[in-house]
Structure 1
Amino acid sequence: MAESKFVYVTYIRTTPEKLWSALTNDTEFMQQYWFGTRCESRWTAGSSWKMVQADGSVSDAGEIVESQAPHRLVIRWRHEKRPELKAEGESLCTMELEPCGSAVKLTVTHTIGRENSKLIEAVSGGWPKILSNLKSLAETGSVTLHTAYPPQGAKLEASHA
């Protein structure tokens, strides 16, 4: 079967437990690195999952397929806002955390069972910004980017803290 896939790997100087909390339970921390967005779930297999924007709207929703704290999280993910992305149906987002010395290797793999997916194209632009912010916030206490999608022609605003 044809599929589209996005993979991002980063190393974050933290513990698997702290990184797991940042990805799941610590919504205040999450909103800092995810541009005001928070994810809501019980974080157990079979529980619902939704991504809530700063304005309270739900941009993405789905279900936790697998949850092995603090090592592996799999989310069945469906976009809710843009009709052309919603029409593509469900994707899978897998987050794997592996201890690596004083850091944690975080691998995010986002896939969908169709070629040339617009959803995968969209997340491939978002994940690097979100995960760069996560790494920076975990290691330095401040985010790298304050705006995910600046107005056309504007440069991304970097933190100078």
Structure 2
Amino acid sequence: MTRETTSFVYVTYILSTPEKVFEAITRPEVARRYWGHENVSDWKPGSKWEHVRANEGRSVELVGKVIEISPPKRLVISWANASQADDPNSASRVTFEIEDYEEMVRLTVTHDELEAGSGMANGIKRGWPVVLSSMKSFLETGRAIDVFAKPKAA
């Protein structure tokens, strides 16, 4: 039986350059500043990547492989919880497409091959918007937003 999958697409426009947006995704010291995590890899096709929490514990939370890379326009990676790294059925795919758009960049993030109704699918619906909003704020103003903020109680 095949599993039911879903996808999530997020598009944002950033006053920046394709090179800076690509670096914000792939350079650990930049991602740490707006994401609270570092994306660690040598960024070659077939190489592994790790999403490492940028705190004292430095826990690896997500893992995957670099599927395709074409700086500064495109990056495709597999994506799985570190605890499920050995289960190929648990991996989903994230595609970053970076386009020049007049004086800005159009960033399209497509997270697909997600198991419908899974914890991962539910988590990324909340996660990507705040992370990409933080990236946009950081690249445009030098100041990120708090990606770990919680809604205020009513």
Measured in 2, the distance between the counterparts of 1:137 and 1:113 equals 28
- Name the SS of the counterpart of 2:90 in structure 1: coil
Encode CA deviations 1:95-131: one digit per residue, 9 max, x unaligned: 0001001111000111125332321110111111111
1:1-161 correspondence runs (5 A): 2-25=4-27, 27-34=28-35, 36-53=36-53, 54=55, 55-81=57-83, 89-112=90-113, 114-143=115-144, 145-150=145-150, 153=152
Q: How far, CA to CA, are the matches of 2:15 and 2:64 in structure 1?
A: 30
Distance 2:139 2:153 in 1: 27
Query: What is the rounded CA distance, in whole Å, between the counterparts of 1:29 and 1:154 in structure 2?
Result: 32
Q: Which structure has the highest strand share of the two?
A: 2
1:146 Cα deviation after fit: 2.0
Deviations along 1:44-102, whole A, 9 cap, x unmatched?
Answer: 11111000012211100010000010111001111125x7xx89600001100010011
Cα 1:113–1:140 shift into 2, 3 Å? closer
Residue type of the alignment partner of 2:50? K
Q: Give TM-score scaled by structure 1 length.
A: 0.83
Unaligned 5+ segments in structure 2 are none
- Secondary structure (helix, strand or coil) at the match of 2:115 reads coil
The 1:109–1:16 alpha-carbon spacing in structure 2 relative to 1, beyond 3 Å, is: same
Secondary structure of the 1:10 match is: strand
Amino acid of the residue matched to residue 80 of structure 2? R
Is the 8 Å Cα contact of residues 7 and 110 (structure 1) preserved in structure 2? Answer: yes
Runs of 4+ deviating beyond 4 Å: 152-155
Is the contact between residue 62 and residue 81 of structure 2 (CA under 8 Å) also seen in structure 1?
yes
User: RMSD of the alignment, in Å?
Assistant: 2.2
**What SS does the aligned partner of 1:5 have?**
strand
Counterpart amino acid of 2:66?
A: I
Q: Aligned equivalents of 2:21 and 2:114: distance in 1?
A: 29
Give the residue type in structure 1 aligned to 2:122: E
Task: Using the TM superposition, name which of 118-127 and 87-96 deviates more.
Answer: 87-96
TM-score for both structures, normalised by structure 2: 0.87
Identity of aligned residues (%): 37
Residue-pair matches, total? 148
